[in-house]
Amino acid sequence: MSDRMRPPTEEQMDAALAELAGRVDWPRTPDVATAVGTTIRAFEGSPSMVAPRLSLPSRRRTLLVIAAALLALAGAALAARVVIELGAVAVEVLPGRPTALPTNVATSADLGREVSLDDAAAIAGFPAALPAALGPPDRTWVDDAQVGVAPDQVVRRIVNAWPATADVPVLPGTEAGAVLMQFEGEWEVASKELFAETNRYGEAIVEGRPAFWTTGEHELVLFAGDELIRLLVTGNVLIWQDAGFTFRLETTLGRHEAVRIAESVTPAIDVG
Amino acid sequence: MVYDGRDVSDQRPVQGRPSEDAELAARARDGDVGAFEELVTRYQAVAFRVAWLVVRDRGEAEDAVQDAFVKAYFALPRFRPGAPFRPWVLRIVANEARNRGRSARRREGLAVRAAAIGSGDAAPAPEAAALERADAEVLVAALDRLPERDRMVVAYRYLLEMSESETAEALDVAPGTVKSRLSRALVRLRTEVASAATVVEVESR
């Protein structure tokens, strides 16, 4: 015989929840009104003041140049976390393996508003930088991330995707073969979490400048509007900076091929 | 944090006063920070509870509420005049809290107060009061086990006593979605409660 009890009826549950409303022992509410007013006045009184950054997980990050960070990663025991900042993207490397990863890969809804290339340029205020090695993209999205409290403190992003081909195999879980994200400026609007036991990472050189390379499934946290989106990355990723932009290319290709694609990107307009 | 340490949990109203809210929001949009502070005073209790329900950490919830209100002030030009202020700001609060959720140091659980013991014939016997409390604790434990989406819709509708349209606005979903999500959440909750009650029953034999 089963020991399982019959669930309460809808009416019983409704009544119990209504009763519960008056009995929850909420934590005490602090009075933040004064602090909010003080902060607003400080911002309004100092137009040049930089707005507080959004609360990225790497808020307490340490700024390290890539070479130094990679040197640290090469150490035998990776006991502490290492954070690498590369323009708009922060990479956090943690010891061990992830306890959980998001299950959702990027969908078109996660990438912003789907538009034409021309519209993307008009909306973002800069043209998409395109790798000649891949030809024209078949899908384009534009989005922004609110990086400060003022309405105009946004970072715009253009994402282009190319269909899978024999030379650029499909990214697992997607229909694309390559996805290139182009972030404007230096604000940190994306972060990724790598784990020493499950990811490989290293330095790459794109047009003579240090870039970051990683393989293995990991989590990408992306700012969209004022929200965070957590995505599972299934491909290999190359991150580099050029002309005031940060680029993130995801493919299933190896480092050499990814760098070749990166180096075929037509020069972007300098926004720096 | 820069607050004066006062507990303002019991400040009312948690329910909105739409016409006054609209007037205060309009003044705030024109640069009257004092008017905005009044809106903060009105809604900080419910905002804090929303944030806490998401992050389950008082410190993180407090930071989230403060930052969310500052962001809301600067977002006022995008606030539709005449729209209800409370669900609009709660959506910003919930988003801000969600952005912080990952860094929360610990996760605090919902707690239940003992029922007020009245006087006279209507007062419950101590045994009955204890049973009621046990039931409530089973219920909050079951609520805690629900996925965030389900937990929040139940919390908004029942614990924070928000209307369906306010809940929809605060969750940034269609009213029909609130209905369907709530319905699914309640089915899950009923199952969770039955499961938890079974454990209690078996353990007490």
| Domain limits, chain B | 18-103, 126-204
Does residue A110 form part of some domain?
Answer: yes
Q: Taking all residues of chain A, what is their mean pLDDT, rounded to a whole number?
A: 76
How far is Cα of residue A224 from the mean position of the Cα atoms in its chain? 9
- Residue contact B159–A36, C-beta within 8 A: no
Helices A33-45 and B33-55 pack at an angle, to 10 degrees, of 120
Q: Which CATH number fits domain B126-204: 1.10.10.10, 3.40.50.1820, 1.10.3720.10, 1.20.1560.10?
A: 1.10.10.10
Sign of the alpha-carbon dihedral angle for B99, B101, B105, B110: positive
Least confident interval from A16-30, A70-84, A87-101, B99-113 = A70-84
Nearest CA in chain A to B74: A150
What 3-state class would DSSP assign to A130?
A: coil
C-beta neighbour count of A139 within 10 angstroms: 17
The answer to which of A12-16, A74-78, A98-102, B55-59 has the lowest mean pLDDT is A74-78
**Number of domains, chain A:** 1
Interchain contact, B99 vs A54, CB within 8 Å: yes
Of B62, B108, B140, the CB nearest to A20: B140
Count of CB atoms situated within 10 Å of the CB of A163: 15
pLDDT digits (tens, 9 = 90+) for B87-114: 999 999 998 888 765 544 456 778 877 6
Q: What is the token pair recorded at B119?
A: 């006087």
The answer to whether residue A179 sits within a structural domain is yes
Distance from CA of A17 to the nearest CA of B (A): 6
| DSSP assignment string, B137-198 | HHHHHHHHHS-HHHHHHHIIIIIS---HHHHHHHHTS-HHHHHHHHHHHHHHHHHHHHHHHH
Q: Count chain A–chain B contacts defined by CB atoms under 8 A.
A: 172
- Among A8, A10, A29, the residue with its CB nearest the CB of B193 is A8
Taking contacts as CB-CB distances below 8 angstroms, the residues of chain A near B179 are: none
- Confirm whether pTM is higher than 0.80: no
The pair of three-digit structure tokens given for residue B19, joined into one six-digit string: 């016409």
Chain B residues within 8 A of A55 when measuring between CB atoms: 63, 67, 96, 99-100, 103
Residue A131 has pLDDT above 90, yes or no: yes
At position B51, the amino acid (one-letter code) is: A
Residue in A8, A30, A151 closest to B194 by CB: A8
Confidence of residue A160 (pLDDT cuts 50, 70, 90): very high
Mean pLDDT (chain B) is 78
Instruction: Tell me the residue range of the domain where A212 lies.
Output: 103-189+201-263
Contacts of A251 (CB under 8 A, 6+ apart): A168, A171, A177, A178, A179, A235, A236, A257, A258, A261
Q: Which CATH architecture has domain B18-103?
A: Orthogonal Bundle (1.10)
From chain B, pick out residues whose CB is under 8 angstroms from the CB of A33: 37-38, 40-41, 44
A33, A36, A227 member nearest B95 (Cβ): A227
